[in-house]
Amino acid sequence: MARTRFIAEVLTPEGQVFNEEVEMVSTRTVVGSIGFLAGHEPLLARLVPAELRLYRSETDVIRYAQAEGYVQVSSDHTLVLVEEAIPVERLDAGALEEQAAAARRALEAAAPDGDEHERAANDLRRAEAFLAIAGGGTR
User: Is residue 43, in this structure, part of any structural domain at all?
Assistant: yes
Residue 1 CB neighbours (<10 A)? 4
pLDDT along the chain (139 residues), means of 10: 89 97 97 94 96 96 97 94 97 93 92 89 94 72
Examine the domain organization and report whether 41 and 61 are in the same domain.
yes
Task: Specify the pTM.
Answer: 0.89
Q: Is 11 left (phi over 0), alpha (psi -120 to 50) or beta?
A: beta
Report pLDDT for 1. 61
Report pLDDT for 75. 84
Residue 83 CB neighbours (<10 A)? 15
Report pLDDT for 114. 86
User: Is residue 53, in this structure, part of any structural domain at all?
Assistant: yes
Report pLDDT for 138. 45
Q: For residue 45, what are the CA distances in angstroms to 28, 39, 72, 99?
A: 9, 17, 7, 27
Domain that holds residue 65: 6-88
Backbone angles phi, psi at 103, to 5 degrees: -65, -40
Examine the domain organization and report whether 50 and 67 are in the same domain.
yes
Report pLDDT for 136. 52
